[in-house]
């Protein structure tokens, strides 16, 4: 939507648009480094050109009013600064409300209510972080409207994560919020989630494209299965800490892990830890390969990542495995894997430029044959991180 369209919508809903400011925060696709971000490991996400537009204006009272163009049938959802609790019936507004709550928990003065309008084009439930993009857009709006100049973009990611963990109850790591806040056009972010040290790696490939394929499947209980994985990884870490001096699974090399894995006296937890350790090391190697333009090596690491997520971490599903297996057989596909939290959602593939049409046609027709579902394919456009639009 253009600025005029967005402002027009705001005006229609709130009866005037004077003094309204506009913000944008992107969704993300993760190239490699999955389920490592709450295990003190590395990740390699890119911000997308898909994202969330958020328009906001301060009110003179303490009311909060929210409207989403994507959930327009729900109308304006109202709340109050005095009543910031996560409620099922509040639906999507729990994300911006959670961010307001997190600012206040950390001592930032949010003293006036807001009128908020939201529109997003991140395919929802596809594992491309529509919720993190909404959180970071809300955090940026609060920083700007309440003139909290001391907050850096990385602080906005940290506060958004705090709200996701403690208000919305998903015990995720910082990857998605960090990518939304810190993304850079044509670059992947190589982030150490333990220290938050990061560097940008060129992701504009010479002869290949980054392609996202949406399985259009989202299995239920995603959040509870996600929290289970986190719990299992934490248990494995606790058992390992009796044998070795580590802060997180990201501290171990593959060799260290093989030497001390007997300390994990639970086969499921051992598999989870193996994934976290090997995936972290793969991500470090993959970032180096991408940086040096060794795209074939990068693609192979992506394939290994998928096998590990499927077999050891068990976060894939039949439909996504089907997409990946189809991709692996297409000439010109350098690598393909599940991306994001899992249990459905998207795959990310590296496809040679001149194989793109073959990829699209083959994946769509074979996937439909095998599952009856029509996949959606997007050639990823890697964009910048969150920004104020006006």
Candidates 176, 192, 232, 314; binder of ligand GAF (CB under 6 A) is 176
Q: How far is the CB of 173 from ligand GAF (least distance, A)?
A: 4
* Residue 162 token pair: 């705090």
Candidates 26, 29, 32, 34; binder of ligand GAF (CB under 6 A) is 34
Candidates 172, 252, 338, 351; binder of ligand GAF (CB under 6 A) is 172
DSSP H helices in the chain: 3-14, 94-105, 130-145, 153-166, 175-182, 222-241, 254-260, 267-291, 295-311, 318-328, 356-371
Q: Beta partners for 67? A: 117
> Which residues have a catalytic role annotated?
176
Q: How far is the CB of 37 from ligand GAF (least distance, A)?
A: 5
SS3 193: coil
Is 341 one of the binding residues for ligand GAF (CB under 6 A)?
A: yes
Question: Which span sits near ligand GAF by CB under 6 A: 35-43, 63-71, 198-206, 289-297?
Answer: 35-43
Is 9 one of the binding residues for ligand GAF (CB under 6 A)?
A: no
Candidates 9, 22, 29, 35; binder of ligand GAF (CB under 6 A) is 35
Is 123 one of the binding residues for ligand GAF (CB under 6 A)?
A: no
Residues 125-144 that bind ligand GAF (CB under 6 A): 129
Is 114:62 a contact under the CB 8 Å cutoff? Answer: no
Residue of 117, 125, 128, 124 whose CA lies nearest to 49: 128
Question: Which span sits near ligand GAF by CB under 6 A: 116-124, 167-175, 233-241, 362-370?
Answer: 167-175
275 is in an annotated binding site: no
Length of the chain: 390
Candidates 96, 173, 183, 385; binder of ligand GAF (CB under 6 A) is 173
CA 160-163-169 angle, to 5 degrees, is 130
Candidates 13, 110, 139, 175; binder of ligand GAF (CB under 6 A) is 175
Is 350:295 a contact under the CB 8 Å cutoff? Answer: yes
289 CB-near residues (< 8 Å, 6+ apart): 295, 297, 298, 301
Please state, as a whole number, how many other Cβ atoms lie within 10 Å of the Cβ of residue 325: 13
- Binding site: what residues are annotated? 34-37, 68, 125-131, 164, 226
- Binding site for ATP: what residues are annotated? 68, 125-131
Question: Which stretches of the chain bind ligand GAF, using CB under 6 A?
Answer: 30, 34-35, 37-38, 129, 172-173, 175-176, 340-341
């Amino acid at each position: 939507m253009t600025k005029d369209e967005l402002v027009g919508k705001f005006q229609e809903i709130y009866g005037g648009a004077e003094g309204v400011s506009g913000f944008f925060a992107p969704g993300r696709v993760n190239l490699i480094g999955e389920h490592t971000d709450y295990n003190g490991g590395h990740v390699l996400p890119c911000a997308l050109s898909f994202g969330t537009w958020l328009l906001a204006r301060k009110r003179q009272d303490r009311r909060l009013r929210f409207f989403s163009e994507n959930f327009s049938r729900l109308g304006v959802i109202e709340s109050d600064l005095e009543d910031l609790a996560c409620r099922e019936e509040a639906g999507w507004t729990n994300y911006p409300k959670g961010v307001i709550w997190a600012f206040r928990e950390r001592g930032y003065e949010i003293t006036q209510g807001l009128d908020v309008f939201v529109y997003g084009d991140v395919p929802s439930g596809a594992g491309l972080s529509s919720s993190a993009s909404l959180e970071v857009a809300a955090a940026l709006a609060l920083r700007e409207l309440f003139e909290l100049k001391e907050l850096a973009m990385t602080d906005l990611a940290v506060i958004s994560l705090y709200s996701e963990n403690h208000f919305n109850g998903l015990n995720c790591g910082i990857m998605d919020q960090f990518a939304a806040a810190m993304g850079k056009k044509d670059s992947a972010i190589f982030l150490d989630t333990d220290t938050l040290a990061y560097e940008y790696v060129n992701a504009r490939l010479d002869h290949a494209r980054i392609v996202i394929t949406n399985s259009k499947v989202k299995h239920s209980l995603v959040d509870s299965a996600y929290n289970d994985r986190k719990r299992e990884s934490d248990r494995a870490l606790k058992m390992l800490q009796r044998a070795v001096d580590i802060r997180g699974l990201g501290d171990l090399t593959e060799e260290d892990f093989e030497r001390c894995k007997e300390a994990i006296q639970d086969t499921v937890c051992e598999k989870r830890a193996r994934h976290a350790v090997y995936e972290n090391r793969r991500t470090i190697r993959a970032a180096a390969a991408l940086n040096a333009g060794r795209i074939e090596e990068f693609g192979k690491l992506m394939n290994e990542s998928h096998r590990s997520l499927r077999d050891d971490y068990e976060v894939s599903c039949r439909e996504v495995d089907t997409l990946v297996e189809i991709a692996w057989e297409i000439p010109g596909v350098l690598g393909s894997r599940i991306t994001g939290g899992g249990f459905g959602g998207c795959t990310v593939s590296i496809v040679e430029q001149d194989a793109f049409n073959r990829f699209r046609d083959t994946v769509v027709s074979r996937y439909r044959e095998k599952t009856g579902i029509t996949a959606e394919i997007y050639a990823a456009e890697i964009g910048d991180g969150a920004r104020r639009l006006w």
